Structure 1
């Protein structure tokens, strides 16, 4: 496993050490969000294990943001699950978080970075250098938005 990378700015820190992540904060946010309502804690753990994680912290170590990158570390990276707690928004921290992701030593020289976002965050990603897909071919995806909701309502399987 790679060593964690740390970025500091004023009274804030971004750290890639997954052991430092506040799983209660992350699970609390993601399990009620539109993007992955009902996310099981074990699935969150697997997401973290398969990613380069970027936790954003106040100097007192309270986590106030998160984002992750899934990459082959050679040609491609996907940014996902970026969020800031409400009181941390509007301070340029989202831009800094994306900049730190792009500056990570294991993610240099990549040909393509991708992400999907909602209309509220388009300007953030444009400021970070991302372009809309128009004219660049087709961005295709398959999403099962209800996968975790269904799992909550289905009875456990009998072994």
Structure 2
């Protein structure tokens, strides 16, 4: 196909006609008089420019819609993040309350074992989980804890003493 080279003023007129529309061109003062399209090549170029304009407008609409969708999704994500942060704070608060309650109960348990006969208390503590036994011993006065350890089997007393002093890792 042979390429037709248009004079610059004609090309500018065609581009203006496509982007502004014929009604706007004639309504503007001082605008160029656009002559009716004469050749097939001029019509083909004009049609091509109109198609390109329509395609660009369609793409612009699609981009606007995607932008709105993205903004909506971003709002939704931000809302979910806020909800998760609230839940995380509530969870941390519940954990802190549980830890405080456990510490309080362990303190009360320590007082109970402290008031018991050291032989009986040593027999019971020997059967407990080492972590719980250490917590109980830590909550007792030193003299009472010493009496308890004195009344335990040597291996168990040594094991609890090591764990209590953090010599042996957990």
TM-score when normalising by structure 1:
0.22
Structure with larger RCO (C-alpha < 8 A, sep 6+): 1
Normalized per residue, the structure richer in strand is 1
